[in-house]
A and B are shown apart, each in its own frame.
Chain A
Amino acid sequence: MNTFVAIGDTVVDELRAILGDEGVLIGKAARYNRTRVPAPFPVHRWAEYVPDLVVLPRTAEQVSEVVKLANRERIPVVPRAGGTGLNDGALPLKRGIVVDIKRMNQIKEVDLVDRTVTVGPGINMLKLNEELRKHNVMFPDDPASYPCSLVGGRIGTSGWSLIGGRYGHTRDLVISFQIVLPTGEIIEVGDGGGRKIRKSSSGFQLKHLFMGHQGTLGIVTEATLELVPRPEMEFAAFFHYPSYTAAWESTGALAKSGLASLGGVVLFDEYKLRYLRRDDEAYIPRPDHVRAVVATALYGTRDEVEPAARRIMRIGRESGGTYLGDEISSGDWASRHDRYATPLHGRLDTGEVVPMSWHCEDASINYSQLPAVMEKWHAITARYAEKTGILDDWGMFAYTNGAYKPWGDYLTEIDIGIWEQKLSDDNWPDWVACKREIAQVALDHGGSITACHGATREGDAELIPVEMGGGFDVMLKIKAALDPNNIMNPGKYELDRAYGLDEKVFR
């Protein structure tokens, strides 16, 4: 059942009147290139998800007019920021209009007194920080996708930052924002109060509701962000261990150190080491007794970081770690954004090198459960790798997940290479089943399916009602109330159920 109508010429004319000719793209290349995100994707089914057209707005008013028109005409609307999301959030499942916000990338106000910067949602963090550098401040949202994701997508996914232990994650760093609701009204949401208020207890906490919804509740058109002083000092330390267990125990000890300057702790398992050793001998030392690695990084004033660094070195060593040296520590931490998604590392069972796409599972798992989840995930991956012949286990990371108190739970990532060229209708269900089993393990261990990417893909999405429990019914009610015609990114998160639609949501 499809409740949506095809887009006619009059709608295109109306859109051109709103956005100008150059703000409306109907060419095939424009539409095909806004279908995909980097998550593995059955290439042969590309054509099924191509949007009808793309708009490139410059103002909130334009976005509002587009959404009103779409709501009137019952046309799906999908916001797209950087298009780097790893769970297909920006993929137009039901076609319709893609609202690509990259032209909304202005820096509108830098307030050095109340410590905020107000931007359009199409700005990238690296670019923003280039501009902020001259004021000696920064916006410290630092995902591995720091060079490519955009503020709008960070809000749309409620992202996680590599240095969130010290500075907080996207939700802690976005103070308030302006959002166009599915019916076209433009509102401001924050904790309460004015744009620059960090803490309030007036009314409902709407900021959280309108973050991480993957564009199903509206389109962010402006955001007011936190400014922090640029750190005077950064210190990274990498340790190696003879076993995963030793590294896991050390991770716990480091994370609990209570040091305010601790940006985060990262645990690399044996599979990850094997993967990283594939090309770069210098990076992970070869000896067999190097079985796991833990990385930490500190940020802050010199007065904080110098003594904290001594403490971290002591904890690392006392908990069984061997320091990997300054060069590897600072060098590898500096390249922390670049070590993902390297298709060239793809290997078949036979050792043959083939280009593989990166799939990243990103559950939130409590510290106590990490070893058990690790074992189960590798076993599931091995089973499906054998069955399909197109998967490759690229190992696991566990990253501290809490803001400011980085000890209780971990963003737990298993990276899987997939030979995307070989995805077919035959093996796609196996891949989905693999993902679903991985997600189920996270739930079985009291975790969440996703720490930051969202869970709108098949294999995850159907477990969201399970994870959310009674909360899922509340989600359905909110969705139906705010988006009466189901135009905002329809088909995601099983939210179609709010409209009595129970069709298969994805592929």
Chain B
Amino acid sequence: MTAPPYDPAADGGLQEQFVEQWRDSAYGCFSSGHKFCREVCPVMQVTRNENHTPTAFHANIVAMEQGNLTVADVADDYVHCTQCGACELRCPNTLFTGDFYRNRTQTVKVVKAMRALAIQSGIEQPNWKRWVEATIDAKSEPVLDVPVSQENVARWSEGLGLPIGGETILFVDCEAAFYRTSVSRSTAQLLQMAGVEFGLMREQWCCGGPAAEMGYTDAARQLADHNVADWRSYGAKRIITLDPHDYISFTEDYVEYFGPDYEFEIVHITELVAELIRDGALTLTQPIERVVTYHDPCRLNKRKGIHASPREILRAIPGLEFRDVDHVTQWSYCSGGGGGLPIEKPEITAEISRRRLARAKELEVDTLVSACVWSERPLAAAGDEQGIDVRDLMELVAESAGLDPRGVHGAAGPQQEVPA
């Protein structure tokens, strides 16, 4: 269990450079060490193992600096994170003094950086490795056993007559393109109905976010380079994302990769649809007789502060009884679907989702509405166990707008049905 002491000669000084880069930020936490972040962490709530706390994620770096630990000692611990961002929000260093000192506790970045260091040091997680290799191979994520390939990437849109290219591009997440196609079809048809002009990419590759989250920085960059080149080839200006993970990739990772030259406006679908409803471009007339609660996707709520628009949309749907839980309480909620967790530690993801659904059940709802396709698979599996339907917000909006988008949703295994 115990790795040999660190030898900078053996890794070309990689770990040393890593420690140099992250040490000061790690001390910001180490010097507090009060663990206000612990009980909001969705992974920690399940494992109850202090190795998986943000506090440990920072303290390990100090221990590395002291020569006490090496990346080999800690690599597995950093797999235990969905990169939900709750700990950063709950950290008093961010909450109280952060603005003044321009400081933010950066646990998510630390986790990504440590994962990257592990990979560069030759320590790989087998399932992540396979996942990223397959992604590079097919240019899209291997979302279960669905035939993922470039010929199929736009197959979800059959019959919708969507153009290629243009100023506004709808980026359809891999999970939505191949698996939960009802979300992509709902979204596209809503945009068409509202008269939004948009096209699809010539060749859409995975956004690279998952690879980046797992620490495969080169692979992530390769995918990003392609996508940006594709957008530029027809002069795209605006990218609409329907998945919060893509929204993070395009508003954070890509900005880092491409610097000041990165010219795209990134719009998230919930913000856009809320606006379309507000402006009267979309009218929701069909009553939806459901009792629902809303799951704040971590990347929207905790990482991007988007929690108002989904609620605004839900309140615009006639017939719906909406039992809300405020977005701050939801800091400690998660589906477990992010950060590569379901690929390496599916049992933890399943338990996180189970607990999320149990909370929904207490509200006596029949439906849990999410706005993140990646959350919807584990949530739907837990929903099946507990008798609660899990739907995407766009699916409900489309239904209420009188559309019949078809496509596939739900938790069950690989889906290959092609929309009629």
Contact = CB atoms under 8 A, between A and B. Distances in A.
A25 interface: yes
B31 A356 contact: yes
A37 interface: yes
Contacts of A357: 31-33
A29 B74 contact: yes
Given A342-B96, A344-B28, A29 B56 contact: yes
A193 interface: no
A56 B74 CA distance: 18
Contacts of B77: 29
Interface in B337-379: 362
Contact of B35 (A103, A134, A148, A335): A148
B202 interface: no
Given A338-B92, A343-B28, A343-B93, A33 B56 contact: yes
B39 A147 contact: yes
Nearest to B57: A33
B11 to A, nearest CB: 18
Task: Kindly name the residue among A30, A84, A145, A353 whose own CB sees the greatest number of chain B CB atoms within 10 A.
Answer: A30
A465 interface: no
B50 A102 contact: yes
B109 interface: no
B355 to A, nearest CB: 12
A132 interface: no
B63 interface: yes
Nearest to A145: B34
Contacts of B90: 147
B3 interface: yes
B49 A32 contact: no
A56 B49 contact: yes
Contacts of A356: 31
A358 B33 CA distance: 10
B33 A345 contact: no
Contacts of A83: 35, 50
Contacts of B56: 29, 33
B372 to A, nearest CB: 23
B69 interface: yes
B50 A100 contact: yes
Interface in B41-63: 48-51, 53, 55-56, 59-60, 62-63
A265 B166 CA distance: 65
Given A28-B3, A33-B60, A338-B92, A46 B36 contact: no
A88 interface: no
A126 interface: yes
A340 B91 CA distance: 11
A43 interface: yes
Interface in A1-59: 25-30, 32-34, 36-38, 43-44, 46-47, 56
A355 interface: yes
Interface in A430-487: none
Interface of B: 1-3, 24, 27-28, 30-36, 38-39, 48-51, 53, 55-56, 59-60, 62-63, 66, 68-69, 73-74, 77, 90, 92-93, 95-97, 100-101, 103, 362
30 contacts: A25-B49, A28-B3, A28-B68, A28-B69, A28-B73, A29-B63, A32-B60, A32-B69, A33-B56, A38-B32, A43-B66, A46-B66, A84-B34, A102-B50, A145-B34, A148-B39, A279-B97, A337-B36, A341-B33, A342-B32, A342-B96, A343-B31, A343-B32, A344-B93, A344-B103, A355-B24, A355-B31, A356-B31, A358-B32, A420-B27
Interface of A: 25-30, 32-34, 36-38, 43-44, 46-47, 56, 82-84, 100, 102-103, 105, 122, 124, 126-127, 134, 145, 147-148, 279-280, 335, 337-346, 353, 355-358, 420-421
Given A341-B34, A342-B32, 15 more contacts: A29-B56, A29-B63, A38-B34, A44-B66, A46-B68, A124-B38, A148-B36, A341-B33, A343-B27, A343-B28, A353-B101, A355-B27, A358-B31, A420-B27, A420-B30
